[in-house]
Structure 1
């Protein structure tokens, strides 16, 4: 279908940046590419800026922010930057001087504004910019590979002149990611040079890594367009994990193959404009040098069961989750997790399960594709189930217009440009959508409300901080609506609210879900349930490749059930989509 990706035939620029959704295989692709180029005589430096990086696990060595020789691969060095640690140091640099001088609530607001994903990404950019512009280091290598590229939002932010003046320290326009650059004014020239390098087609190749599933393809397309708009146009696409053939006697294998092909038929037109390559779905773990070398040789290496991998599958299932919510009389249920893990399906199945137990349920989502309409299409609905959909774009535009109308009278043209870009941050969407959620909850009574795609702990703390902040500073225009103010305490009440974290039994989704849980606990919310979705281990597949992959899931199933979750349920990979009310009942039968 696509030409197999072979780095020596494709890569001809000194800098490579990999981007894509969490869990698509960026790190394994980056590591295998680095090994392949080094094996072909190129001097290679591999750098990870991913907070969930597992470079050290892949290579089996301890890594720091200094390049280190990778054993058994001549010409390859690697380093692991820690953007979380960088962000922490950066926050203290900005906030520290104000401790004891400003009210505690103001300092708390400043800290939370600098605790979001945007700040971590800026801190990561600061780290690898130092390497990118270090001529002594750059001159030693033919290729420098960055695992995890900056987003278009971050790069646009870096390009705006107002990002480098005192506007940020004075603006109080509302709760957003305001101020991620306020401590980095001395880096302006350095950042400008780095952005120029990213946009130079003879210097940089952007590799968009995706899985052959609809959500991953849409995310790759969004990133492609966003980065093209700011000049990063030398792009290629790698479709990772493509099952090349299937076992006709295995239902799971046949359905898995067909789902991938159906998703690729829906590949966005703009993404098709880039040269597209593929990497195979493999049964083995992409750790260790030899396994990384196998990847480009297209080996599948069917796995064999060892003695400690023959355990029975006796984990809890989604019916247990629904029974628990029904008995505990939970009123608010949030499903949370990274895109593509199946939050909407899980939320819908929980809703149907609770309705079947006699509860009145309102289900709402922020899925921009209105996936709930698809989930329940052409089906007879139970009168105890009501559904709504919140359009993030509309809510964000309303929120932006509100903030801009109140703040723009005090800003010049550059200030407005910065504010507009600042309001394009992920936190802005979460806050705008959360306000809409709060209004839905405020209007409901005598029913369970299930919310698909909930705000992170950071967003909740940001809203909380905004309440205190606006009380301290009268000129602040970041008012928190009563509906939000009333909802925040409810979310912290375990007798009223439960959070379900949805993940896959893979490294990146589990690591990212773990960070999400830590984030929520900072906001005094402790998730009671984790749901591992789409588990091949929970199927009866006999296909050697899929079975090998299933065995690889065991490590992450144990990590969740033993170390992360209070309660863990597993949903098997299903050979058909559960579309319609009656089909969703299959989850509880």
Structure 2
């Protein structure tokens, strides 16, 4: 099993339940496990009845298990402040306010959350030496896929920006101070240094996601969830990412044979419909169904989380690091 494990799927399918159960499974098998939530709902705290923030915190009552929750709003603010500080150091005071305004506008556009969260993804992956397994309870499928696609697009974009910056600095410095000193100034240019650092971060992320990560899709036995999962599998494949399997969650239990009445009739019909959809899932997808989890009456935590943990047929043993 790869070090980094992602659980994705459309909103509301039960990613937090499944990722928490798998985290518990890994921890009980002796792996130092970090569970990372990037879902704005932050249900991880509810599952373990413990508040988490953006630093790894030991989960009470569970050895080898840590959890952290990344707040998209806070990450966007932090990302924006970082850019403002970097830009303010490079421009004249006269245009600082205009730059601030443009950055504020940029961070209100679609994709701002994904860009900010991706920086934290990189931080978590880079700083994960203390853990054997890092599990990401990701945001809904669309945002996650945009997030995971960023390295490929941004690497080439940064390369072009860096080249333009080098050409600009070279021409300006030659005109101002001569050719010899221009070469020295170019080496020390802070913007080129920052762009190079960003490029290296994206290269690291792309390499890690391709070589040491696996993605599981969580879905419910309904038409919308199945179709969404088909699209997600194709997008993940196109991005060169590994899809390890499918977890079908919130499946209606079968009533006892002797049960009658309106409720039992409804449950029996729903169970039959969902079993047909399960057959369809097993037929249409190349990926294996690694768990079928029945719908629980109450929220999954405590002993119910233990039950779900036992139902996950996902490998726990760590793979050797890529060479």
Supply the distance in 2 between the matched residues of 1:261 and 1:209 (Cα, whole angstroms).
Answer: 17
Q: 1:67 to 1:248 in 2, by over 3 A?
A: same
1:169-318 to 2 correspondences below 5 Å = 186-200=197-211, 203-246=212-255, 248-249=260-261, 250=263, 251-264=265-278, 266-267=280-281, 272-277=285-290, 278-287=292-301, 289-297=302-310
Structure number with greater CO (CA < 8 Å, separation at least 6) is 2
Paired residues of 1:206 and 1:236 also in contact (CA < 8 A): yes
Q: Scaled by the length of structure 2, what TM-score is found? A: 0.72
Q: 1:102 to 1:144 in 2, by over 3 A?
A: closer
Cα drift, residue 51 of structure 1: 2.0
1:466-481 to 2 correspondences below 5 Å = none
| 1:29 counterpart residue number | 18
Q: Deviations over 1:52-93 (max 9, x none)?
A: 222112112221222111111111111112222111222344
| 1:324 counterpart residue number | none
| 2:178 counterpart residue number | none
Aligned partner of 1:101 among 95, 98, 101: 95
1:562-577 to 2 correspondences below 5 Å = none
Q: 1:42 to 1:268 in 2, by over 3 A?
A: closer
Q: Quote the RMSD (CA, aligned, Å).
A: 3.0
Cα drift, residue 228 of structure 1: 1.0
The gaps in structure 2 that reach 5 residues or longer are: 165-193, 312-323
Q: 1:116 to 1:53 in 2, by over 3 A?
A: farther
Aligned length: 266
1:369-388 to 2 correspondences below 5 Å = none
Supply the distance in 2 between the matched residues of 1:256 and 1:113 (Cα, whole angstroms).
Answer: 46
Supply the distance in 1 between the matched residues of 2:195 and 2:236 (Cα, whole angstroms).
Answer: 23
Paired residues of 1:157 and 1:163 also in contact (CA < 8 A): no
The gaps in structure 1 that reach 5 residues or longer are: 1-11, 171-182, 299-589
Q: 1:269 to 1:185 in 2, by over 3 A?
A: farther
Q: 1:65 to 1:110 in 2, by over 3 A?
A: closer
SS in 2 for 1:42: coil
Cα drift, residue 234 of structure 1: 3.9
Paired residues of 2:282 and 2:289 also in contact (CA < 8 A): no
Tell which deviates more after alignment, 114-123 or 88-97.
Answer: 88-97
| 1:372 counterpart residue number | none
Q: Scaled by the length of structure 1, what TM-score is found? A: 0.41
Supply the distance in 2 between the matched residues of 1:184 and 1:207 (Cα, whole angstroms).
Answer: 33
Paired residues of 1:83 and 1:127 also in contact (CA < 8 A): no
SS in 2 for 1:52: coil
Supply the distance in 1 between the matched residues of 2:279 and 2:304 (Cα, whole angstroms).
Answer: 30
Q: 1:232 to 1:100 in 2, by over 3 A?
A: same
Supply the distance in 1 between the matched residues of 2:75 and 2:151 (Cα, whole angstroms).
Answer: 17
Instruction: Check if 1:152 corresponds to 2:169.
Output: no
